[in-house]
C-alpha cells in the first residue's frame, strides 16, 4: 500500500502545477546553472531559520557547503518576508507519513482561492518575473554540487551529502528540474525514493514534534534568520 501511495502522489503532491520526477546523469555543463551563473544569492557558511506557527516553533539548519544556491534562495526569501502569512497547503500523513508542504506566496493573499494554493512561485519585484532555481545535488567526495539534472542511479543516490531523512527540508518543483522557487516541504519519514530528484537543502534541528502537529491550512506566522545567513552573489 505504501509504495503504491507514493507512486500515486509523486506526480501531484510536491507540485507547483503539477510536480513530476525526472531522469538521470550529469556532467560539467550543469555547473553553468550554479552560483556563478544565476541571479539568486547563495549561502556562505551556515544559517538557522526559525519558523513560527500556531502549533509552535520550528528551527531549520542550513548549510551553504552542500546546497549553497538552494539554501541561499530560501534564506533570501525568509529575509524578504515572503513566507510570513503563508499556508501549509498540503499535509499528507495517511496511509503513511509523507510530507508537510508550504511556502506558496499566493497562499498569503486572502483574495486567492484555497483551491489555487500550491500553484504560485516567488515573483521578483525588480524584474516582475518568477525566480526559478535549478535542481542542486551534491555527492560525497565531490567539491561542488551538480545542477539541473536529476540523479536516480541507486549507487549514486546513496552517496548524496543531503538525503531525504525524517526532518529533511527540500524544495518542491514542477516537472522541469530547474523550476523550484519558494515552495518547500518537510519529510515526515525517510523518503529515499525522492533522493536525487528533489533538492534537500536543510533539516529540522528543533521542533520536529511541532511539524508532526501541523495540519493543512495552518499558517507560518513569521519566519526569521536567527543565526548565520550570509548571502553572496556568485560562488561562496
Q: Is the pLDDT of residue 53 over 60?
A: yes
CA angle 231, 35, 21 (to 5 degrees): 115
What are the cell numbers at 110? 486572502
CA angle 180, 30, 73 (to 5 degrees): 35
- Give the model's pLDDT for residue 23: 26
- Report in angstroms the alpha-carbon separations of 199 from 16, 95, 129: 15, 25, 22
Q: Please state the rounded mean pLDDT for residues 145-159.
A: 90
- Give the model's pLDDT for residue 19: 36
Residue 7 confidence class, pLDDT cut points 50, 70, 90: very low
Asked if 36 and 186 count as a contact pair (C-beta separation under 8 A), the reply is no
Residue 184 confidence class, pLDDT cut points 50, 70, 90: very high
Residue with grid cell 552573489, as numbered in its chain: 233
List pLDDT tens digits, range 187-206: 999 999 999 999 999 999 99
List pLDDT tens digits, range 73-121: 999 999 999 999 999 999 999 999 999 999 999 999 999 999 999 999 9
pTM of full prediction above 0.85: yes
Which domains can be identified in the chain, with CATH numbers?
2-232 (2.40.100.10)
- Give the model's pLDDT for residue 1: 36
- Give the model's pLDDT for residue 21: 27
Amino acid at each position: 500500500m505504501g509504495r503504491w501511495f507514493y507512486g500515486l502522489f509523486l506526480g501531484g503532491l510536491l507540485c507547483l502545477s503539477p510536480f513530476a520526477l525526472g531522469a538521470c546523469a550529469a556532467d560539467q555543463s550543469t555547473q553553468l546553472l550554479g552560483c556563478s551563473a544565476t541571479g539568486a544569492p547563495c549561502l556562505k557558511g551556515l544559517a538557522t531559520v526559525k519558523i513560527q506557527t500556531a502549533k509552535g516553533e520550528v528551527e531549520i539548519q542550513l548549510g551553504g557547503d552542500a546546497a549553497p544556491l538552494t539554501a541561499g534562495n530560501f534564506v533570501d526569501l525568509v529575509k524578504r518576508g515572503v513566507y510570513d502569512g503563508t499556508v501549509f497547503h498540503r499535509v499528507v500523513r495517511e496511509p503513511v507519513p509523507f510530507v508537510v508542504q508550504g511556502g506558496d506566496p499566493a497562499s498569503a493573499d486572502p483574495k486567492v482561492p484555497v483551491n489555487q494554493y500550491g500553484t504560485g512561485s516567488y515573483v521578483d519585484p525588480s524584474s516582475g518575473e518568477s525566480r526559478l532555481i535549478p535542481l542542486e545535488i551534491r555527492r560525497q567526495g565531490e567539491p561542488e554540487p551538480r545542477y539541473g539534472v536529476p540523479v536516480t542511479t541507486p549507487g549514486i543516490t546513496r552517496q548524496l551529502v543531503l538525503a531525504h531523512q525524517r526532518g529533511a527540508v527540500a524544495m518542491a518543483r514542477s516537472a522541469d528540474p530547474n523550476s523550484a522557487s519558494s515552495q518547500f516541504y518537510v519529510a515526515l519519514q525517510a523518503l529515499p525514493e525522492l533522493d536525487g530528484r528533489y533538492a534537500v537543502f536543510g533539516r529540522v534541528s528543533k521542533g520536529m514534534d511541532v511539524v508532526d502537529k501541523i495540519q493543512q491550512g495552518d499558517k507560518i506566522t513569521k519566519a526569521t534568520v536567527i543565526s548565520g545567513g550570509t548571502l553572496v552573489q556568485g560562488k561562496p
